[in-house]
């Protein structure tokens, strides 16, 4: 079978210019095409009306232009919106649009955060997460990552001004496509979103954290910690067996030294697993080592998993330990609980049993 054509939204401006030059077109046409893609949001090459007809024909022959197709949209009582998209090969992914929290940003905030997926499924098998229950299929391309931003803006009629790579998959396991997508999202000829409004999350891939520290863009990094001792973390996160806490914290310290940034530790509170006062005390010690702030999130129930969220009183007691230690910490009683907004839940509800992919060894 011939290779599928390269997607136009996977290209940088310089790459497109070089390809158009090779086709006998002037390089300045690349800027026109990019304006149609990201400023005017053209739905097809045919819609790029100020380009010569011959060029539009060439573009259609050279490049793919398929968009993510919406399959289901769930709206929450708190206006969180969850989108299930079908890709060109039939695979399903999720994106979640999260409005500003008045408690954090004030009633007048226009903050619109999009939680973006980077893989179809996940191979890392965190025990509390729905994304990995059906295994891993493949990485998303840069075009499929960027396409989530464009499609959600189109469907919601909202401007996205904050992006978190905390959807399906392990972002740093798809490093090359992720970095390309972030470059397109950040570029003035692309989506045009500032790097400091982009956060990526990792379950703890220490070598890639170090590699990310060497990248020029000042994106923000969040670590899905969820346990401040090897005992707790290994119980719920298999990645800890390959990159135990000491190795992870060394990589985090390297990152903060290079980037001169604070890290965020994401910490899902799970009843009876990591929500005790001694767990909070261990988290204090870890946060002090690497200049990290804490984002605590009560567990979002997933059908088929045994875990439970702690009571509000238990959550408050955990937070009191962090507050007393003067660790910057936020308790986020998450939006979207009524629409199963945890990563992978909507996809699992939609996939037929026969579509369940296999999980590779990792």
> Counting every residue, how long is the chain?
362
pLDDT tens-place string over residues 138-181: 999 999 999 999 999 999 999 999 999 999 999 999 999 999 99
pLDDT class of 101 with cuts at 50, 70, 90: low
pLDDT reported for residue 360: 31
Known catalytic membership, residue 94:
yes
**Residue 245 structure tokens:** 């806490």
Tokens of 291: 């200049």
What percent of the chain stands above pLDDT 70? 87
pLDDT cut 90: percent of the chain above it = 77
8 A C-beta contact, residue 237 and residue 281: no
Contact 25, 52 (CB under 8 A): no
For the stretch 45-87, pLDDT in tens is 999 999 999 999 999 999 999 889 999 999 866 688 999 999 9
pLDDT above 50: residue 318 = yes
pLDDT value of residue 186: 98
What pLDDT does residue 341 have? 47
Convert the pLDDT of each residue in 179-198 to its tens digit. 999 999 999 999 999 999 99
Domains and CATH numbers, the chain: 6-64 (1.10.150.530), 69-355 (3.20.20.70)
Give burial (CB, 10 Å; 0-12/13-18/19+) of 269. buried
Displacement of CA 227 from its chain's centroid (Å) = 21
- Residue 286, pLDDT > 80, answer yes
Burial (CB count within 10 angstroms: exposed 0-12, middle 13-18, buried 19+), residue 77: exposed
How many angstroms separate the CA atoms of 263 and 270, rounded? 22
pLDDT at 106: 46
**Residues 129-145: pLDDT tens digits?**
877 667 788 999 999 99
- Which residue among the candidates 115, 122, 129, 343 is catalytic per the annotation? 343
Give the Cα-Cα-Cα angle 88, 201, 274 (nearest 5 degrees): 125
Instruction: Give the active site residue among 94, 144, 170, 266.
Output: 94
User: How does pLDDT run across 188-230, given as a tens digit for each residue?
Assistant: 999 999 999 999 999 999 999 999 999 999 999 999 999 999 9
pLDDT at 317 over 50: yes
């Amino acid at each position: 079978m011939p290779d599928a054509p390269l997607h136009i939204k996977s290209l940088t401006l310089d790459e497109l210019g070089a390809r158009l030059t090779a086709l006998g077109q002037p390089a300045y046409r690349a800027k026109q095409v990019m304006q149609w893609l990201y400023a005017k949001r053209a739905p097809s090459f045919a819609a790029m009306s100020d380009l010569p007809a011959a060029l539009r024909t060439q573009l259609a022959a050279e490049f793919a232009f398929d968009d993510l197709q919406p399959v289901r949209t769930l709206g929450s009582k708190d206006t969180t919106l969850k989108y299930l998209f079908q890709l060109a090969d039939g695979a399903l992914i999720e994106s979640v649009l999260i409005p500003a929290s008045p408690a954090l940003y004030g009633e007048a905030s226009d903050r619109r955060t999009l939680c973006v997926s980077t893989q179809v499924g996940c191979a890392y098998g965190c025990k509390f997460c729905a994304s990995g229950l059906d295994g891993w299929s493949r990485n998303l391309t840069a075009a499929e990552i960027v396409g989530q931003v464009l499609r959600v803006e189109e469907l919601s009629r909202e401007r996205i001004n904050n992006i978190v790579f905390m959807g399906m998959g392990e972002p740093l396991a798809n490093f090359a496509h992720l970095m390309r997508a972030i470059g397109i999202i950040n570029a003035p000829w692309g989506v045009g979103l500032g790097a400091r409004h982009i956060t990526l999350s990792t379950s703890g891939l220490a070598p890639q954290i170090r590699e990310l520290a060497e990248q020029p863009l000042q994106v923000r990094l969040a670590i899905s910690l969820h346990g401040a001792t090897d005992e707790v973390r290994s119980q719920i996160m298999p990645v800890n067996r390959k990159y135990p806490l000491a190795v992870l914290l060394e990589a985090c310290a390297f990152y903060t030294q290079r980037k001169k940034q604070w890290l965020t530790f994401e910490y899902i509170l799970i009843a009876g697993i990591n929500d005790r006062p001694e767990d909070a005390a261990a988290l204090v010690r870890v946060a002090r080592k690497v200049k990290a702030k804490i984002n605590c999130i009560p567990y979002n129930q997933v059908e088929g998993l045994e875990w439970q969220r702690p009571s509000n009183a238990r959550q408050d007691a955990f937070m009191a330990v962090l507050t007393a230690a003067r660790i910057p910490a936020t308790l986020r009683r998450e939006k979207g609980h009524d629409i199963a907004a945890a990563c992978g839940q909507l996809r699992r509800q939609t996939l037929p049993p026969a579509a369940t992919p296999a999980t590779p060894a990792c």
